[in-house]
Structure 1
Amino acid sequence: MTLNQSLDLQSSAELTVSVTTARTARAERANSTQEAILRAAERLYAEHGVFAVSNRQVSEAAGQGNNAAVGYHFGTKTDLVRAIEFKHRGPIERLREKMVADLGPAPDMRDWVACLVRPLTDHLAELGNPSWYARFAAQVMTDPAYHSMIVRDALSSPSLVEVINGIGACLPDLPPDVRAERNIMGRNLLMHSCAERERGLAEGAAVPRASWAGAAAGLIDAIVGLWQAPVTEVP
């Protein structure tokens, strides 16, 4: 090999390494920026509601000098809301899948309700204090602009659908309209109770249970009781 060929190969290799390094650095910066935006948006939406918070406020809270950073990295506010939900849905889904897989051969109502409650409370425990996800989810669930989207996305989870069907199978005689009503009640009880506990922990206030595991036990008791409550027929 001639000296010129050797130098050309060395120069090409160095250029490839340089380009790869630059691309890696850019990707890492982009990931860091996106994560900062997700954290800032989740906190602001949790504290003030989605409608009240602008993309510019999110960009500023994320330390981005460019006010268009949210649009550049995520698109619309709806896209950003979905990205926050997706970030948390993965860990919750994995916890639920494991719980469902570990169910015995004849799960009862409490078993199924535990598969509904504990994946969320275990995830919140893993997030530590302060966290904002429960309050974010509660805000989104009460916002007409996002409620249907979040419910639809949640029901794309096979394990969640299996849990809902499992609960229903434990109460075969429950009228369809009562079943739909209690499904909404149970969902609201779960999300808003977790949001209130999360707020109390973040503010250093007294909370009814010492741990998220304890809170889960109380929620399971309450939701099982809700589902099994008598039905009053009104003419």
Structure 2
Amino acid sequence: MTSRSRPPRLRPLLLTVTLALALAAAGCGTEPAPDRVAGRSSSGDPAPDRAELEARASAAQIVAEHVWVTEAAGYALARQSVGVLGDDGFGSSYTAPDGGMLQLSVERRPHAEADCTDGSAAAGGSEPLWTCERDGEQWYRATESGHAYAREQGELVITVSGAREKVDRATLRSAARAAHRADDHELDQVLPPAGDASGRQPVERGDLPPMGDGAPNNDVGASG
């Protein structure tokens, strides 16, 4: 009996699209990084000091080895989107002038417990909530609103996703295939400058209760 390899567990696409919309609303696509970040560096300049890069990554609570970059025609890295994902993962967004947005995520997590192709149907419905298929070295998953490519690299799962109405499959596939671990030149462009970790920490809100689902506390006084 031939063993059947298990695909990576893809993140819920609804969450991916929600994050993309939140980043767009916050203006994360307004400050593109230098062009060199988009693909593999071909600069003849001396490589940046590795110790300095590690220090900058540490200051931003980012694992340097988990920083990946990609490229897609017309897309540029949104510097404000760069940050930690989960415990030690990495996330970033690439934006296009027409409103398209690609989400790149790198996470350390286990393989799927169930086959990616076993799409579950909505309650009372017959159509699957999502579809999933093998595409070369990666897995392609799609819902009505979003889609993503994912692949495993050692203990990491690298995912490139986007909204279907803004990013077509060909563009998504191209970006997923181009994704690679950042070299030192690319790290220099992606990481926050030394002494600047602004925007990397969660914003504290005084109206969030310490327990429960984290919904804002909108209680009113006894007077109504």
**TM-score, length basis structure 1:** 0.21
Larger helix proportion of the pair: 1
Q: RCO higher in 1 or 2 (8 Å CA, sep ≥ 6)? A: 2
Q: Between Structure 1 and Structure 2, whose CA radius of gyration is higher? A: 1
Larger strand proportion of the pair: 2
**TM-score, length basis structure 2:** 0.22
